[in-house]
Structure 1
Amino acid sequence: MENAERRPYRMGARAAAVEATRARIVRAAADLWTRRWYDDVTLQHIADEAGVSVQTIVNHFDGKDGLADAVADLAAARADVARQAPTGDVPAIVAVLFEEYERQGDANVLWTAQVDRVPAVARAAAHARVQHRAWLERVFADRLPPPGPDREHALALHYAATDVYLWKLWRRDLALPRHAAERAMRDLLTSIDPRKGDDDG
């Protein structure tokens, strides 16, 4: 009879191998979707990139939409880790945000352009919006008004000032160098500080 002590080890090794395969598939899909439209990437493309069969992908994720949800979860987890910045430190906040946008801003813009026709992408975008708002509330906690209309107004301004499309405008459309784009975002965030008062009374 097989030693009972070896069964948990084998089961643990198998679970680790399954998780490694799953992670490899998610990374392969994420890499392809950062460069190509969602509809242009097939499960076969992803399988070839990950070194697995299409059936393996289906077994893990049920299909393309399920895999897209997993990719969105991975992106959200990475953003949570990467976006560490001291509350109220505008230069540090902008630097952290630019590190993310320089790395994956083009992919974010590509995905956002597909929200109206790809449900999985729409779900990912909705989650990203919630995540970004929560991040803004955390890093600008020192300046945001108490809950209410004024807070919502301030959050809307900060959201616009830090949105990936503003990064795209500066870095891609206007071809500003990174240091100039970062300065523009810092200046914009400083100018909308609610603590300075409302000129409209």
Structure 2
Amino acid sequence: MEATRARVMKAAAALWTRRWYDDVTLQHIADEAGVSVQTVVNHFGGKDGLADAVADRAASQAEVSRQAPVGDVAAIVAALFEDYERHGDANALWTAQIDRVPAIARAAAHARGQHREWLERVFADRLPASGPAREHALNLHYAATDVYLWKLWRRDLGLSREDAERAMRDLLTSIDPRKRDHE
């Protein structure tokens, strides 16, 4: 039963990384997974339930893949790029659908929360203790590490991975609140 469930989630994720959510039917997913539509419904209740399960699975995988030592900007950026190079295009495609698909909006809200928690962990050495200064610093770090910035550099501007990583490292270094406080 778990193998079937995993196969259906893998099939749905593969389809949704290439096509719009609305363009993928339960029949497409069932065919890709080698099961019946009824099997998909029995396991997930429908397309939205499946989308929630796929999003949860992706979120847990992202958490594992983004291991980086606190304060090591190069390692943090490298871990982030490993994730974005594998999943960034799909993330951008899903994010473009937030306003139309409630399951994607829920998944995106969850992913934003996870990304913020990750930022708080890996940049713990440079974030102010609390209050408006901490929120400001977190917002800057969030913007500097957002998937859309990766997309801008890698897809829209055509930067090499090396150049895009360097740009993100430079941006993160420039917004270090410890440096700005002394200026």
Decide: shared fold, TM above 0.5.
yes
Alpha-carbon distance in structure 1 between the residues aligned to 2:45 and 2:165: 42
Deviations 1:92-149 (A, max 9, x none): 0000000110111000000000000100000000000000000000000000001110
| 1:117 maps onto 2:117 in alignment | no
Q: Give the AA of the match of 2:109.
A: A
The alpha-carbon deviation at position 80 of structure 1 amounts to 0.9
Q: SS in structure 2 opposite 1:87?
A: coil
SS at match of 1:58: helix
RMSD: 0.9
1:51-110 deviation line (CA, Å, top 9, x unaligned): 000000000000000000000001001001100000000000000000110111000000
Alignment of 1:54-69 (within 5 A): 54-69=37-52
Which whole-Å CA distance do the structure 2 matches of 1:169 and 1:148 have between them?
Answer: 31
Q: Compute the displacement of 1:198 (Å).
A: 3.7
Q: 1:64, 1:89 → 2: CA distance? A: 40
2:135 aligned residue: 152
Q: How does 1:22-171 map to 2 (within 5 A)?
A: 22-171=5-154
Distance (Å, rounded) in 2 between the aligned partners of 1:196 and 1:89: 16
Counterpart code for 2:24? V
Question: Who wins on radius of gyration, i.e. which is larger?
Answer: 1
Cα distance in structure 2, aligned partners of 1:91 and 1:198:
22
Counterpart code for 2:42: N
TM-score (normalizing by structure 2): 0.98
Name stretches of at least 5 consecutive residues in structure 1 with no aligned partner.
1-17
Residues 174-200 of structure 1 deviation map (CA, whole Å, 9 limit, x = unaligned): 10011000000000000000001347x
Task: Please list every run of 5 or more consecutive structure 2 residues that lacks an aligned counterpart in the other structure.
Answer: none
Q: How many residues align?
A: 183
Identity of aligned residues (%): 82
